[in-house]
């Protein structure tokens, strides 16, 4: 089941994220955020963008959300997407379902460009593989750029790659961006995501 995250989901979401902070270089954060900081991240995202979770047998198994690519107004039609899947839930199609739902919500908001910043190994190691970049390729993203050795974690240097995807055409005059609250009812009625 895919649904909109709630602030009270913070514990299940943070449990998923903590693994990536402590055991991988997928995120360049060194320390697991506090409960209050993580709750604030959920609140801040939902003010403007979708924050979705997946549940299997009542347990949160992953989450995906969008945020501004940059804060300046000209970037309104571009977002940065993020996804994390529980370690023991990977490989079951949850990521595809979450990103598909996220794209539907963003399209309703009039977003055009999806951008993903992905930690990238050179070479792969026990902390980071190319799996995230491959997943994004399968979802229709294409490589847009690479920054070399810009993240340092676990005594190693890692690259990042930027990947992008357009989910609609680029009109001469794009319609205004809708806040997430404005499209929630349509998202529920059209796609069953509530």
pLDDT at 168: 95
Q: Per-residue confidence of the chain (194 residues) as pLDDT tens digits?
A: 999 999 999 999 999 999 999 999 999 999 999 999 999 999 999 999 999 999 999 999 999 999 999 999 999 999 999 999 999 999 999 999 999 999 999 999 999 999 999 999 999 999 999 999 999 999 999 999 999 999 999 999 999 999 999 999 999 999 999 999 999 999 999 999 99
Structure tokens at 100: 């598909």
Looking at 3.40.50.12780, 2.170.120.30, 3.40.630.30, 3.30.1130.10, the CATH number of the domain 2-191 comes to 3.40.630.30
CA separation for the pair 4, 36 (Å, rounded): 19
CA separation for the pair 14, 180 (Å, rounded): 22
pLDDT at 127: 98
Residue appearing with tokens 């598909």: 100
- pTM for the model stands at 0.96
For the chain, what is the largest distance between any 2 Cα atoms, rounded to a whole number of angstroms? 49
In the chain, where are the structural domains located? 2-191
Q: List the one residue out of 119, 123, 102, 71 whose CA is nearest residue 165.
A: 102
pLDDT at 184: 95
pLDDT at 65: 98
Residue appearing with tokens 């005059």: 173
Q: List the one residue out of 146, 183, 191 whose CA is nearest residue 50.
A: 183
pLDDT at 174: 96
Helices and strands: H and E segment counts in the chain: 5, 7
Cα atoms in the 13 Å half-sphere on the side-chain side of 24: 20
pLDDT at 162: 98
pLDDT at 107: 98
């Amino acid at each position: 089941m895919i649904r909109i995250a709630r602030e009270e989901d913070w514990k299940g979401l943070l449990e998923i994220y903590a693994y990536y902070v402590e055991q991988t270089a997928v995120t360049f954060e060194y320390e697991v955020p506090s409960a209050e900081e993580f709750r604030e991240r959920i609140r801040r995202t939902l003010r403007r963008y979708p924050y979705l979770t997946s549940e299997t047998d009542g347990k949160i198994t992953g989450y995906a959300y969008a945020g501004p690519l940059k804060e300046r107004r000209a970037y309104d039609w571009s977002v940065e997407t993020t996804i994390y899947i529980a370690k023991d839930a990977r490989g079951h199609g949850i990521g595809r379902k979450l990103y598909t739902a996220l794209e539907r919500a963003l399209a309703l908001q009039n977003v055009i460009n999806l951008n993903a910043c992905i930690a990238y190994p050179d070479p792969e190691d026990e902390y980071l593989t190319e799996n995230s970049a491959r997943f994004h390729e399968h979802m229709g993203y294409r490589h847009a750029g690479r920054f070399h050795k810009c993240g340092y974690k676990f005594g190693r240097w890692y690259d990042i790659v930027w990947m992008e995807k357009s989910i609609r055409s680029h009109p001469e005059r794009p319609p205004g961006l809708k806040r997430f609250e404005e499209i929630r009812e349509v998202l529920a009625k059209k796609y069953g995501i509530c």
